[in-house]
Structure 1
């Protein structure tokens, strides 16, 4: 629900990512203050480096810090520990015109029973989304339902053992069950991108699902990490495939999430890095991907997953130039919960389709996700400075 200690909204005007009243009107003063101190802490590189091992140690020996985590960083970036606990966040976002993408963020597991449980949990997110416009899209990671080592072996093209072949058949059955449920419910489901040395298998699996379920509507989406220098071309090639095979390509466009790990592995193993030479090259390809998708809007449904203001603004301009309605079902903007509210809520206020990733899961199981958020945030100091400056601006506005 909207907070009543926040001043009333001004009348709608031209889209501006500097409008902090619209960006933060879903936050109470207490919520805004919590975000302020949290981002200040995240900006402290020392704290971010020592925090994860100290927290893991404290959790391991049973120190009662779960409550502290849940009321601070978990509350900022996660919806709750269960789907039901996410309801408050879902309603709060919806009142600002922002949709929710429920993201079951338990990771690092390696057990068949856990994979089956994760499949069932992803299906529960689809059931929760059915009939509720506040939850327009769902998502899953293939490593949530498959062993990483198996995917890695498949990517190399090596022959599987008899047991591995059975294991792979179970993985395909889990993915099929998720996509079938999404198709029956009419709820799009995105397949998240992962490390380059398992991505080829994930890409093939996603395209196979699109051939089956995207004949008339984009149900299955694959993810293209544009910080890889080959992924713009992959997107173009997949659109050609979709046109010839008669299905709609679903594409989520992101810059990427594994840059340091990718470069380190490439250097250690002596192969060329798949990562773009610099940020400018990534930005150029990302914006070109937006141009390409809007040029082929009838055959591509895409989610622009970005915290970059320039790319977000470019997409709004491309839609205007090409007479694509703000609420066209083939175009969504997306950001993470707890970040870039100036993009999310101002886009929603201008009637664009927008949905935030809302991670959820048991606090202990979601810690790897939370630590990665903090570490990534320190790697993009400019973004954190931007977040802080906007929060400070809104705090000052409210004082007036």
Structure 2
């Protein structure tokens, strides 16, 4: 880059022509900038102990015996060892997927990630089952209180502030988001609960998306009716004249959906193959990017994918449609702690990249991580290429290779 600056000072026109040619080439093949296989680039900001931890944890999480029994192991270990000792032993696992337990830790992690072009997005852990003796109203009240508390934490962390929020600011989740300009992505859950979640999301959007998409919905592309459902939702927000953002995911509850369908003797609500899910996902990426290009600030999309082909497709389509890389309308999302080989090159190329992490203390998050691992084991299995890159970079740093 310094050579380019000097050349521009001495020979302005040729340098400008060269930059124009380079920009044109990047627009024609923008994904050629993305190298998902260079361990030095991917892990440049990681310390060697962090690489060792990542390799060990990702290898452990790729084992079916561990994923299938993680929650019973945690509960049994807590009874045997006590909570304090268990948490100390489990901290490497926790630290791989969660950047901190308090606002100070999270703010420090957010600042560190921002220097690499990556932002944090927080996943709120809400209960979906009634405890013994608990009423539905009490469950909803507890979830709302937790959500508003974590909204406040997320606002302060991402803004770099340390000022406590007045309780009156947190009267309702939608009003809170509107007041602070905080985007909220409502996750999809199970196929049989999604209709209610979708209606609630649309109701919130009707109230709070009059200026910009603060409330986002989620489309799970492993569902057979994903395209049909998204069509209905987009038609509704268009008829209401409000903005809307969509997070596109493949889906996390494959095993539960299959088991439930077999038990009830009903057709599987999800696609039969991963390729069919990918085809649905990619078609909706194309659809939503076209919508963003057509509607401007009134539409937005997050390409929440660990799949390199889907990411490359989105990058190419953005270039073809003339969509800027980082103006807040097109976001890319991956899980914190995995798929650094996708997130880092994207961020380095100037795209808006977010890493999703749960909020909470270690004792509450470990069971959450165990459940998520069992529900979405394809993510853990899919880290094979990342583990190869981790091993290659460790060998290079330890002088075990010639590179």
1:17 CA drift (Å): 1.6
Cα 1:131/1:65, change in 2 over 3 Å: closer
User: Residue 280 of structure 1 aligns to a residue in which SS?
Assistant: helix
How is 1:1-400 mapped onto 2 (pairs within 5 angstroms)?
Answer: 14-63=33-82, 64-70=85-91, 72-105=92-125, 107=127, 110=130, 112=138, 114-128=142-156, 131-132=159-160, 177-297=172-292, 298=295, 299-375=298-374, 378-380=377-379, 383-398=382-397, 399=399, 400=403
Quick check: which one's helix share is greater?
2
TM-score, scaled relative to structure 1? 0.81
Report if aligned partners of 1:340, 1:387 keep a CA contact under 8 Å in 2.
yes
Distance in 2 between residues matched to 1:50 and 1:217, nearest whole Å: 44
TM-score, scaled relative to structure 2? 0.80
Report if aligned partners of 1:15, 1:347 keep a CA contact under 8 Å in 2.
yes
Cα 1:185/1:280, change in 2 over 3 Å: same
Report if aligned partners of 2:217, 2:245 keep a CA contact under 8 Å in 1.
yes
User: Residue 150 of structure 2 aligns to a residue in which SS?
Assistant: helix
1:213 CA drift (Å): 1.2
Moved more, 298-307 or 311-320: 298-307
Report if aligned partners of 2:339, 2:383 keep a CA contact under 8 Å in 1.
no
Report if aligned partners of 2:150, 2:359 keep a CA contact under 8 Å in 1.
no
1:265 CA drift (Å): 0.7
1:46 CA drift (Å): 2.3
Report if aligned partners of 1:130, 1:187 keep a CA contact under 8 Å in 2.
no
Moved more, 260-269 or 87-96: 87-96
Report if aligned partners of 2:254, 2:376 keep a CA contact under 8 Å in 1.
no
Structure 1 unaligned segments of length 5 or more: list them: 1-11, 134-174
Distance in 2 between residues matched to 1:107 and 1:82, nearest whole Å: 21
1:322 CA drift (Å): 0.8
Distance in 2 between residues matched to 1:179 and 1:193, nearest whole Å: 18
Report if aligned partners of 2:326, 2:352 keep a CA contact under 8 Å in 1.
yes
Cα 1:377/1:267, change in 2 over 3 Å: closer
User: Residue 95 of structure 2 aligns to a residue in which SS?
Assistant: helix
Distance in 2 between residues matched to 1:75 and 1:381, nearest whole Å: 16
1:361 CA drift (Å): 1.0
Report if aligned partners of 2:187, 2:217 keep a CA contact under 8 Å in 1.
yes
Cα 1:115/1:31, change in 2 over 3 Å: same
1:122 CA drift (Å): 2.9
User: Residue 260 of structure 1 aligns to a residue in which SS?
Assistant: helix
Cα 1:105/1:392, change in 2 over 3 Å: same
User: Residue 223 of structure 1 aligns to a residue in which SS?
Assistant: strand
| Post-superposition CA distance 1:44-100 (Å, at most 9, x none) | 322333443122112135532111112x11000112223333223212211211000
User: Residue 382 of structure 2 aligns to a residue in which SS?
Assistant: helix
Distance in 2 between residues matched to 1:258 and 1:339, nearest whole Å: 19
1:382 CA drift (Å): 5.3
Which structure is larger by alpha-carbon Rg, 1 or 2?
2
Cα 1:188/1:255, change in 2 over 3 Å: same
Which residue number corresponds to residue 150 of structure 1?
none
| Post-superposition CA distance 1:341-391 (Å, at most 9, x none) | 111111110110111012121222112321134435644565121121121
Cα 1:265/1:378, change in 2 over 3 Å: closer
Distance in 1 between residues matched to 2:171 and 2:256, nearest whole Å: 30
Distance in 1 between residues matched to 2:226 and 2:376, nearest whole Å: 24
Report if aligned partners of 2:246, 2:301 keep a CA contact under 8 Å in 1.
yes
1:117 CA drift (Å): 3.0
